[in-house]
Structure 1
Amino acid sequence: MFEQFSHSNFHTICDKLAANDPDLAQIIQNHGYPPLWSRPNSFETLVHIILEQQVSLASALSALNKLRERVQQITPTRVLLLTDEEFRACYVSRQKTVYIKYLAEAIVNGQINLAEMEKMPDDIIRAKLTALKGIGNWTTDVYLMFVLQHTDVFPIGDLAAVNALKRVKNLPKETAKEELLSLTEQWKPYRTVAAMILWHYYLSAPRKSLKE
């Protein structure tokens, strides 16, 4: 069964990780606890995560806000009424337009039920979401971590988390993903919170120190 974090246990989990990993302890000592980042379990949130794929957070939010202006409320049925030209006017690429429409159709036809996912284990959620066009492991990881708040996900496809991990552990730039994943095993069953500590470091530490 999956475990979740919340405001009531988040700092306790951070403390457990810090007690077993001096590098994570140093981050918390230098920068404080990470924010408990969370998002509502909604179609709009998944659209937002799709928009964040391989672009800056600022440009993704700009596109999301444009979509909001266009349809008032981002729902599957309203989004499916938009033309490709209207999506383009909202700064949404042709590829992501396809992904968003595919997701909307999957929800409308009952293939995906977001409320039901709140009771499902990680592997079932991953199988359901990655079966959809345009949703891969990174998008699923973000959904599991930020929306469902499952405690044991490490987003190996996330450059910020991976670069912070390499920096904190003094690993060479070319370290393989398999080796990095093996290293994160020490943080089980709280790899999500460990990743949040790394993101906090990435956002708080001087940028030049993260490029090495």
Structure 2
Amino acid sequence: MINKFTESNFKAICDNLAAKDADLKQVIDNYGYPPIWTRPNNFDSLVHIILEQQVSLASALAALNKLRERVQQITPTRVLLLTDEEFKACYCSRQKTAYIKYLAEAIVNGEINLENFEQMPDDEIRTKLTALKGIGNWTVDIYLMFVLHRTDYYPIGDLAQVNALKRLKSLPASTPREELIPIAERWSPYRTVASMILWHFYLSSPRKIQLHLSS
């Protein structure tokens, strides 16, 4: 069975988490429910996630917008027509240029079908995507969470998530990421929604920094 959150059940899931975790309840009491962050299931969204790897949200969005200006619509066939110099002019590093091209080729060749992912189990999606160079577990986690709305992911590779959880639970900054995993496991089967509450806390509280994402 594929478990997803929707607009109709999102707040109920937040309430369920708040009943189990007083710290998450405090976030909702102080800042309200988090937004339902969502992205369409298309190539553009996966390119966006690749661009977000290990950089700030602002940097990734600037590169994405430059690509959009260059090709009007980010599709596999259009980006494959771009030269490496054109990618560079769109603020894409050599590595990320290669990753985007690998993904585009996989979609054009029929190795990857994003529409089919809608009905596929999470582990099969992960296997197919991580077979591509440049797509690791963090990228797949974000895809499953933001695009497919699967309910039970905590992206341990996400710097904002790690920092928010340490702050929320008053843990030392030096706490290893491995020690955060059991805390997140208490939120199962709704770790994705708990993660969105954490991002909401991170972005709403005064000490926010505009670093996202990944490793």
The residue type paired with residue 47 of structure 2 is V
The one-letter code matched in structure 2 to 1:183 is: I
Moved more, 83-92 or 165-174: 165-174
Query: Which amino acid is 1:35 matched to?
Result: P
Deviation at 1:143, TM superposition (A): 0.3
Query: Where does residue 131 of structure 2 map in the other structure?
Result: 131
Match of 1:48 in 2: 48
CA offset at residue 9 of structure 1? 0.4
Any idea what SS the aligned residue of 2:180 has? helix
Distance 1:46 1:24 in 2: 29
Aligned residue number for residue 117 of structure 1:
117
**2:5–2:149 contact (8 Å) kept in structure 1:** yes
Instruction: Tell me, yes or no, if the aligned pair for 2:202 and 2:208 is still in contact at 8 Å.
Output: no
Give the TM-score, by structure 1 length: 0.96
Post-superposition Cα deviations, 1:172-192, rounded to whole Å, max 9, x if no partner, equal 222222221111111010000
| Superposition pairs of residues 52-63 of structure 1, within 5 angstroms | 52-63=52-63
- Equivalent in the alignment of 2:6: 6
Q: Can you give the 5+ residue segments of structure 1 that lack an aligned partner in the other structure?
A: none
Q: Which amino acid aligns with 2:21?
A: D
Residue-by-residue CA offset, 1:5-48 (whole Å, 9 max, x unaligned): 01100000000000010000000000000000000000011001
What is the SS of the residue equivalent to 1:192?
helix
2:214 aligned with 1:202: no
Structure-1 residue corresponding to 2:171:
171
CA RMSD of aligned residues (A): 1.2
Distance 1:184 1:52 in 2: 23
| Residue correspondences, number | 209
Q: Relative contact order, CA 8 A, sep 6+: which one is greater?
A: 2
State how 1:140-179 maps to structure 2 within 5 Å: 140-179=140-179
Distance 1:146 1:181 in 2: 20
Structure 2 CA distance for partners of 1:174 and 1:5, relative to 1, 3 Å: same
Is the CA contact 2:122–2:144 (under 8 Å) kept in the aligned structure 1? yes
Map of 2:104 onto structure 1 = 104
The one-character-per-residue Cα deviations of 1:98-151 (angstroms, maximum 9, x if unpaired) are 000000000011111100111112111111111111111111111000000000
